[in-house]
Amino acid sequence: MSYIKKTDPELFEIIKREQNREHNTLELIASENFTSPAILEAAGGIMTNKYAEGYPGKRYYGGCVHVDEAENLAVDRLKKLFKVEYANVQPHSGSQANMAVFMTFLSVGDTVMGLDLAHGGHLTHGSPVNFSGQLYNFVNYQVDELTGRVDFDKVRELAKKHKPKMIICGGSAYPRFIEFDKFYEIAKEISAFLMADIAHPSGLIAAGVHPSPVPYCDVITSTTHKTLRGPRGGIIMMGKDRENTWGKIAPKSGRVKMISELLDSSVMPGMQGGPLMHIISAKAIAFGEAIKDDFKVYANQIVKNAKMMAQEFIDMDYDIVSGGTDTHVILMDLSNKNISGKAAEKALEKAGITVNKNMVPFDERSPFITSGIRIGSPAITTRGMGVDEMIKIVDFIDEVIKDIENDDVINNVKSKVKSLCKSFPIYRELHS
């Protein structure tokens, strides 16, 4: 960062403070991770200079020969990683990937089913404050109050009643496997499209430690960070490409367009202009890293760590939604501790532990307060921490929550957190 230090010392100091925060903090937000130095380098690299509207070989600008190579490399690696026939690496985010899918498969006002935001879904799965809930008629399914898992009898009942054009499976705070096969059977019964949003478990799916949506879903979206450990961004995939069945034809030839063509057009020019070629280059690195055997070891450790944490919390009488986890996500209901998610998040941050407040199923508190917190294991696993460290971390969290207003306790935990983080440094080269 020598150039930033010389030219903009004010911003340099801000970045250094964030660097120190990440180094000295236990990052337990389930949607966050630490990229490799190579990804950081690419994301801040020379490719940011190049405008490349369009797709490889079909750009609206000249001088795209090398960015074409980078995008083709990213696409080829992504196809190999998930064993899919079609991939688009241009969406700037998971939300934009979802928007592109909706623009392709749906018309404004169509009925869609998605997991309720308060039950672990995502804003783009029909929240009324989001474009998805404003443009489409969303019917939200929920989890069972006793099990904390998707109630497929009720999903089927809702699907038969409302006849949605599309069903979305996946979410942001659902700790169990996404049962793509069960969603597929319901979608098949009512002739609905099935979309998988695998933003959270994508890295686990790539590594084979979570079931794959590819055999079951018409289209798949994801982010490229979280468990996939790449730069912030989005992707769209299909296991098999095919002709669309809703009357979209090529204007000159009259041939029926492939769904891949429609998805590409929905991304660009439908929703975006020039792609972020520096981020696409970083995505290529991330996909290449995820193909390697050591990524599979990493993904397995993510799950082992999360399971250990969940069990430790349960043993301490914490209410873990669904009774545990199959993934990297732990959703904790703090109602029995008489503490709000907001209060827990604030106190834990003071102690150097970053989590996010989160609604739990059938939550009676507002989204700004919440009854729960969401905890994730990807970032601490990237640092090299294992199950022994998970036991320590749970103890740290418990110490704070049991005495949430005691500054002495919080400061003592903060000191222990800092010591643990020092043993598992990140970005050594940035601290030299």
Q: What does the pLDDT look like over 197-249, one tens digit per residue?
A: 999 999 999 999 999 999 999 999 999 999 999 999 999 999 999 999 998 99
What pLDDT, on the 0 to 100 scale, is given for residue 185? Answer: 98
Q: Return the closest-CA partner of residue 170 out of 327, 324, 308.
A: 327
Active-site residue, selected from the candidate residues 35, 223, 224, 370? 223
Residue type, 362: F
Whether residue 72 contacts residue 59, with contact meaning beta carbons closer than 8 Å, is answered with: no
Helix, strand, coil percentages for the chain (3-state, nearest 5): 50, 15, 40
Residue 102 has pLDDT above 70, yes or no: yes
What pLDDT, on the 0 to 100 scale, is given for residue 428? Answer: 80
Assigned token pair, 11: 């911003």
Active-site residue, selected from the candidate residues 71, 116, 197, 333? 197
Interatomic CA distance for residues 139 and 150, integer angstroms:
15
Q: Is 197 among the residues known to form the active site?
A: yes
Active-site residue, selected from the candidate residues 59, 149, 226, 337? 226
Q: Is 223 among the residues known to form the active site?
A: yes
Residue 432 has pLDDT above 70, yes or no: no
Q: What does the pLDDT look like over 40-50, one tens digit per residue?
A: 999 999 999 99
Place of tokens 């903090």: 25
- Give the helix/strand (H/E) hosting 351: none
Q: What does the pLDDT look like over 251-310, one tens digit per residue?
A: 888 899 999 999 999 999 999 999 999 999 999 999 999 999 999 999 999 999 999 999
- Give the helix/strand (H/E) hosting 231: none
Residue 1 has pLDDT above 80, yes or no: no
Active-site residue, selected from the candidate residues 22, 32, 53, 110? 53
What pLDDT, on the 0 to 100 scale, is given for residue 151? Answer: 94
Q: Is 51 among the residues known to form the active site?
A: yes
What pLDDT, on the 0 to 100 scale, is given for residue 2? Answer: 85
Whether residue 166 contacts residue 192, with contact meaning beta carbons closer than 8 Å, is answered with: yes
* Beta-strand pair 86-88/234-238: antiparallel
What pLDDT, on the 0 to 100 scale, is given for residue 208? Answer: 97
Across 19-23, 75-79, 370-374, 427-431, least confident range: 427-431
Q: Return the closest-CA partner of residue 189 out of 166, 155, 156, 230.
A: 156
Query: What is the value of pTM for the model shown?
Result: 0.95
Active-site residue, selected from the candidate residues 51, 110, 111, 416? 51
Residue 430 has pLDDT above 80, yes or no: no
Residue type, 167: I
On average, the pLDDT of the chain sits at 96
Residue 431 has pLDDT above 60, yes or no: no
**Segment 30-49 mean pLDDT:** 96
What percentage of residues in the chain have a pLDDT greater than 90? 96
Q: Is 261 among the residues known to form the active site?
A: no
Using a 10 angstrom Cβ sphere, with 0-12 exposed, 13-18 middle and 19 or more buried, the burial of residue 250 is: exposed
What percentage of residues in the chain have a pLDDT greater than 70? 99
What pLDDT, on the 0 to 100 scale, is given for residue 236? Answer: 98
Residues 6+ apart with CB under 8 A from 179: 150, 152, 169, 211
Interatomic CA distance for residues 387 and 381, integer angstroms:
9
Interatomic CA distance for residues 218 and 105, integer angstroms:
10
- Give the helix/strand (H/E) hosting 288: helix 277-291
Interatomic CA distance for residues 99 and 126, integer angstroms:
11
Active-site residue, selected from the candidate residues 229, 232, 283, 357? 232
* Domains (range + CATH), the chain: 42-291 (3.40.640.10), 302-431 (3.90.1150.10)
